[in-house]
Amino acid sequence: MHTSFVLVTLLTLTEGFLPSHTPASPDTTLLLSKPPISSSSSSVVSFDAPDEEKPKWAAGGVVSDLVNALIGIKPFFSLMKLGARQQLIGTAEQNGVPWRERALALRQKQAILDQYFESCLVDSVEYPEYYTQEFHAYEEGNLNWPAAYECEQATMSMALRVWPTESLSPKEAQDRLRYSFIDTVREYIDGITLTDQERVKQQNRVSSSSQSGAKPMFPFGSLFKKSEQSQPGALNTMEDKVNKAKYSSSVDSIVDLGCSVGVSTFYLSEAFPLSKVTGVDLSPQFLAVAKERQWSYPITSPVSRNVDFVHGQAENMEPFIASESKDLITACFIFHELPQDASRVILAEMFRITSTSGLGTVAITDNNPKSAVIQNLPPPIFTLMKSTEPWSDEYYAFDLEQAMRDAGFVDVITVETDPRHRTVLGRRSAE
Ligand SMILES: C[S@@+](CC[C@H](N)C(=O)[O-])C[C@H]1O[C@@H](n2cnc3c(N)ncnc32)[C@H](O)[C@@H]1O
Residue 28 Cβ inside 6 Å of ligand 1? The answer reads no
Residue 286 Cβ inside 6 Å of ligand 1? The answer reads yes
Residue 155 Cβ inside 6 Å of ligand 1? The answer reads yes
Domains, the chain, in order of start with CATH, read 2-192+247-427 (3.40.50.150)
Pairwise CA distance, residues 291 & 430, whole Å: 35
Q: Nearest residue CA, atom 11 of ligand 1?
A: 258
Residue 142 Cβ inside 6 Å of ligand 1? The answer reads yes
Burial (CB count <10 Å: 0-12, 13-18, 19+), residue 370? middle
Q: Nearest residue CA, atom 1 of ligand 1?
A: 25
Residue 224 Cβ inside 6 Å of ligand 1? The answer reads no
Predicted pLDDT of residue 196: 84
Pairwise CA distance, residues 234 & 241, whole Å: 10
Neighbours of 98 (CB within 10 A): 15
Residue 184 Cβ inside 6 Å of ligand 1? The answer reads no
Neighbours of 69 (CB within 10 A): 10
Q: Nearest residue CA, atom 14 of ligand 1?
A: 258
Contact 101, 417 (CB under 8 A): no
Contact 288, 113 (CB under 8 A): yes
Per-residue pLDDT of the chain (431 residues; tens, 9 = 90+): 343 333 433 433 333 333 333 333 333 322 233 333 333 333 323 333 444 566 665 666 655 566 566 666 666 666 666 777 787 888 899 999 999 999 999 999 999 999 999 999 999 999 999 998 766 666 777 899 999 999 999 999 999 999 999 999 999 999 999 999 999 999 999 999 888 888 887 777 666 654 444 333 332 233 333 233 333 344 445 455 445 457 888 899 999 999 999 999 999 999 999 999 999 999 999 999 999 999 999 999 999 999 999 999 999 999 999 999 999 999 999 999 999 999 999 999 999 999 998 999 999 999 999 988 887 766 666 666 766 777 888 898 899 999 999 999 999 999 999 999 999 999 999 87
Pairwise CA distance, residues 68 & 335, whole Å: 20
Listing DSSP states for 248-276 in one string gives GGG--EEEEET-TTSHHHHHHHHHSTTSE
Pairwise CA distance, residues 418 & 401, whole Å: 18
Predicted pLDDT of residue 58: 63
Task: Kindly give the number of the ligand 1 atom that is closest to the alpha carbon of 21.
Answer: 1
Contact 283, 136 (CB under 8 A): no
Task: Kindly give the number of the ligand 1 atom that is closest to the alpha carbon of 25.
Answer: 1
Predicted pLDDT of residue 374: 81
Residue 334 alpha carbon to ligand 1 centre in Å: 5
